[in-house]
Amino acid sequence: MKPTYMVFQAGERLHLGAEAEVWSGTWLGRPAVRKQRRTRAWRHPDLDHRLGHRRMMSEARLMVRMHRAGIAVPALYDLDPSAGIMVMQLMPGRPLIEVLRDDGLPASFKQTALKSTGAAIRNVHRLAITHGDLSTNNVLINEDGHATLIDFGLAAVDYEVERFGIDLHVVDEILGASHPDIDGAIEALLAGYTDEEERQGPPMEQTGGAVPTASEVLQRLENVRTRVRYHG
């Protein structure tokens, strides 16, 4: 019997990076995405396989954890970490980078998208999960302006406020460098981040301990910014 990921019907290649190749298509009739891990030639094959297996298993576990918690992330359809293949739900929307560069969209829609992105980040953080790669390519915005985070290949469970502050600092730097024409971009995102905490209240303690509050993370973001400016 063939593995079920073999029934994935590829459509369009979405991304070819150093770590993975990503295709859209269908899986058992459902719109889906297949992520295929790429081997790293400079690594010893055994080490490369072990690292790839471990990272894909970690990504899958965290996606299931977030999905069960009701967070809008892709549902996991199929997984073969030995082959380096993951099949997941195709989420609707355009990458945030495209939305922010679309001159045909009103500024109000972009502000809504940024605030929703901040809320989506906070919802992930509330589960003691840091994303690890918060670029504007890894956020999808649907037609209503609602954000979905994708690509959790570098995500991790963490309780150190520093890691959460760095998550926000990454997106802060990207917005400043790639979208300097969007007035108040990071301010809108951080407003969405804090508004989500006000809406839900303090985060629940997780099995590994207390999760940093939104205010603690924002304070650490300021500390990270200060260090970067000082050393820069």
Active site residues: 133
Burial of 42: CB neighbours in 10 Å, binned 0-12, 13-18, 19+: exposed
DSSP 115: H
Structural contact between residues 167 and 218, judged by C-beta atoms closer than 8 angstroms: no
DSSP 204: P
Burial of 181: CB neighbours in 10 Å, binned 0-12, 13-18, 19+: exposed
- As a whole number of angstroms, the distance between CA 159 and CA 145 comes to 30
Give phi and psi for 149, each to the nearest 5. Answer: -85, 145
Give phi and psi for 10, each to the nearest 5. Answer: -70, 145
- As a whole number of angstroms, the distance between CA 184 and CA 89 comes to 32
- As a whole number of angstroms, the distance between CA 131 and CA 153 comes to 8
Question: What are the C-alpha distances in Å from 10 to residues 33, 90, 200, 229?
Answer: 8, 12, 40, 45
